[in-house]
Structure 1
Amino acid sequence: MDSEVLANAFDYVREHQTPIHSLTIIRNGYVVVDAYFWPFQRGQYHDVASVTKSVTTTLAGIAIGKHALKLHQPLTSVFAAQDIANLDERKKRLTVEHLMTMTSGLDCDASQGEITLSRMRQSSDWGRFMLDLPMRDEPGSRFEYCSGGMHLLSAAITKATGQSAFDFARRELFGPLGINHAAWPMDNHGVSYGWGDLHLEPLDMAKLGYLWLNDGRWEDRQLVPTAWMRAAVRPQARPEGGDEKYGYGLWLQPDRKPSLFEANGRGGQRISVSPEKNVVVVFTGGEFEPGDIGTFILAALKSDRPLPENPAAAAALSAAVNDAARPLPSLSLMPPLAKAVSGKRYALAENPLGLNALTLTFSGAEAAQLQFELKSRNEPSRPIGLDGTPRVSPDGNFGLPVAVSGRWESNSTFVFDYNEIGNINAYRFRLTFSGDDVDVGVSERSRVIQGVRIHGTTAGRAVSGQVH
């Protein structure tokens, strides 16, 4: 691969302030690039979002290879011990394969922020909720994106193997791949989330891509059945409105040059595999378009043979990787209002973020302190970088760090970015102060929430928050 072209990709990231967290490239079995963009760091795991779906289907393939499940096994057989609501002839024909291809025919609605998934998560038994949904279509007849269907597949793995998908993965997939640093939550029935929230390190994501690239084989072991793996990367369903096809939990682009298949998650999480070029590319990030970086990677794939040595380009790429791990400083002006609001507790109106109150403390030009009071848990005080360098503090969700930076946008408006980094979510808070009151606007880069407005005050009770 052309090191000079790859180094240019890092220049692009800097110039456009692209919120990428990591980039890993494996070509012909060798690590070409393994870069981490500050404040995300090597050795941290990252929420892989819907890449989880591809792991869930891979585990189903392993379970099929071990005869714990069958590809065309009806779900009425998998869950034979329980009564199933809305059981008609179509539901009797619903199989394990239909869940893997998102062609279940269940009445699953992905609109309005995946409303069926939200309703499932409000129920007492997530797997039963999905299994009890009425049928809308004949199984296998139509692709319908359905995160809850992948959770039902995880429940099927648990039913068939007697253990959670995470425990099954530790023994049959993660263990053999040497994946030792992972987190995967489960519901209150011991079923690993089948659709998302798996946390992996980028290099471990690359191991999964390399496994898929090699027909499910890792070194001298066939971890995933060859026939299943080859079927997984063939078109099994055709989503409407695009050129992509869908295999078993993988997005396929067979008509591209070079062709590729991907595990794809919100915010820019990707495991991209091109068998033609014998390359695996892993991205993690906080809402960016991987294709913008992919154009550089594609351009760097100049030959299937080794390129002539270019020491200067190799040194430039190495320097770019090292620079990516360091922040770029700048300065923020401090208006007189900072002293007036410093240390004051602002009680916040009811809001979808579960924030009860916040306090900002300004003690210098380079850093401040933020104290959130949450309904759900105690939140530690977090430093805010005011000099353009986010301050990183520990003990966020899943034990991952949080980075916070802020600046005064005007004499009365303070803006700070609360970046959960490996947990993807990156919130922007815009606080406009007026007397005893503050108006708080909140948005999230990957659109988990949008247009939240919260009233806060140091005097009396705050009025209701609003979502626009």
Structure 2
Amino acid sequence: MRLLLLLTFSVLPLLGASPVYAVAPSPSALSALDRETAALERVHSVVVAHAGEIIHEHHQGGPGVASPANIKSLSKTVLAAITGAAIEAGVIESVQQRLVTLLGDQVPNGTDPRVGEITVAHLLALQAGLERTSGSNYGAWVASANWVNDAITRPFVDEPGGRMLYSTGTSHLLSAALTHASGETTHALAQRLLGDPLDITIRPWLRDPQGIYFGGNDMQLSPRALIEVGELYRNDGVVFDEAGNGERVLPEGWVEESWQARGTSQWTGDGYGYGWFITQLAGEDVYYGRGYGGQALFVIPEREMTVVITSDPNPPSPGGQFQQRLNKLVEGLLAENGE
């Protein structure tokens, strides 16, 4: 697997001074990470990268660090990257393009006129305004005969661009929009526009009854592959080969836009951008994606760090407090690194 090799750094204000690189976590900090991880039996793997290099891997169950794992709703973060890559490739125009334009004749008759106001940006930020398909509504939604029609015809509980309403149905509408606009499956787009440049394999995953790849759930990526996705964002949407040559995968400015809070999680209070939650750990700005059961991808730009955690994705859910315990694992690395 090709790692992203660009080393970001801050330059000392003194003319002629050598660049200063963020210090990598110490061996003692990584040993402490392993001990704390061992207490979380649900966790399968933890992978830590610093300045473009994987510096630590810990595996204690489930698929290995190089094996595909079900990343559950962390798929929303990957879907956001696919969308950015589709914009860079000209598959869709911009985040301001409207859902109905992309779906075309796939929009059901009799939908609420406000559906015409929903943009790609609203879908990325989970601000469509439609009733959620997650939570207590999830089972009925995935049991429906047409997931797209079910999601798009739900009643509005807010205006497009209003509150963040965590809903996998909203992400699935984005997958459908990508499919109908491109004439390719979401999986084909994912591998061509994201997997190939990052030199990772994205396996096919679950489809709905109409053949649309599940938007926002059940993607299969290895922890090492997720490191590459995180590094792509850490390097501002550019991937570098071993010779240091860069290829822009995401549009210029995409990462900054993605990491701008457009809504707030009602469960954690963290901000939410385009597929990424936004928080602070140990005084550092941290951007993360998360999935059911303990799947997580963290990017900490100022520390030049990317961290991936995968866990048992099967019910029962350990609940939101488990995510806080994963946050503590990363916080421990950052706190030690800052001493």
TM tier, smaller: 0.7 to 0.9
**1:207-226 correspondence to structure 2 within 5 Å:** 207-219=228-240, 220-226=246-252
- Deviation for aligned residue 1:48: 0.6
Partner of 1:203: 224
2:143 maps to 1:122: yes
* TM-score, with structure 1 as normaliser: 0.60
For residues 254 and 90 of structure 1, do their structure 2 counterparts lie closer, same or farther at Cα, with a shift above 3 Å needed? farther
**Bigger-Rg structure (1/2):** 1
Partner of 1:72: 96
Deviations 1:195-219 (A, max 9, x none): 2111111100100000011111101
- Name the aligned partner's letter for residue 48 of structure 1: I
Deviations 1:315-360 (A, max 9, x none): xxxxxxxxxxxxxxxxxxxxxxxxxxxxxxxxxxxxxxxxxxxxxx
Does the 8 A contact of 1:53 with 1:150 survive in 2? Answer: yes
Partner of 1:165: 186
Partner of 1:283: 309
- Name the aligned partner's letter for residue 29 of structure 1: G
Partner of 2:46: 23
Partner of 1:318: none
Would you say how many aligned residue pairs link Structure 1 and Structure 2? 299
Structure 2 distance, partners of 1:255, 1:3, is 20
The structure, 1 or 2, with the larger RCO (C-alpha pairs under 8 Å, 6+ apart) is 2
Deviations 1:207-239 (A, max 9, x none): 000001111110111011122222011112223
Does the 8 A contact of 1:53 with 1:195 survive in 2? Answer: yes
Partner of 1:104: 128
Partner of 1:59: 82
2:67 maps to 1:44: yes
- Deviation for aligned residue 1:76: 1.9
For residues 7 and 238 of structure 1, do their structure 2 counterparts lie closer, same or farther at Cα, with a shift above 3 Å needed? same
Does the 8 A contact of 1:2 with 1:302 survive in 2? Answer: no
For residues 51 and 135 of structure 1, do their structure 2 counterparts lie closer, same or farther at Cα, with a shift above 3 Å needed? same
**1:429-448 correspondence to structure 2 within 5 Å:** none
- Deviation for aligned residue 1:255: 8.3
Report SS of the residue matched to 2:302.
coil
Higher helix share: 2
Structure 2 distance, partners of 1:148, 1:269, is 20
2:323 maps to 1:297: no
Report SS of the residue matched to 2:48.
strand
Gaps of 5+ in 2: 1-24, 241-245, 313-317
Flag as ranges the 4+ runs of structure 1 deviating above 4 A.
Answer: none
For residues 168 and 8 of structure 1, do their structure 2 counterparts lie closer, same or farther at Cα, with a shift above 3 Å needed? same
Structure 2 distance, partners of 1:76, 1:233, is 26
2:170 maps to 1:143: no
Higher strand share: 1
2:271 maps to 1:235: no
- Name the aligned partner's letter for residue 98 of structure 2: P
For residues 242 and 27 of structure 1, do their structure 2 counterparts lie closer, same or farther at Cα, with a shift above 3 Å needed? same
Q: Residue 32 of structure 1 is aligned with which of 30, 33, 55?
A: 55
Report SS of the residue matched to 1:159.
helix
**1:241-256 correspondence to structure 2 within 5 Å:** 242-253=268-279
Does the 8 A contact of 1:86 with 1:134 survive in 2? Answer: no
Does the 8 A contact of 1:85 with 1:133 survive in 2? Answer: no
**1:169-188 correspondence to structure 2 within 5 Å:** 169-180=190-201, 182-188=203-209
**1:321-360 correspondence to structure 2 within 5 Å:** none
- Deviation for aligned residue 1:256: 6.3
- Deviation for aligned residue 1:241: 5.3
Deviations 1:248-279 (A, max 9, x none): 01111158611110011111111100111110
- Name the aligned partner's letter for residue 271 of structure 2: K
**1:403-422 correspondence to structure 2 within 5 Å:** none
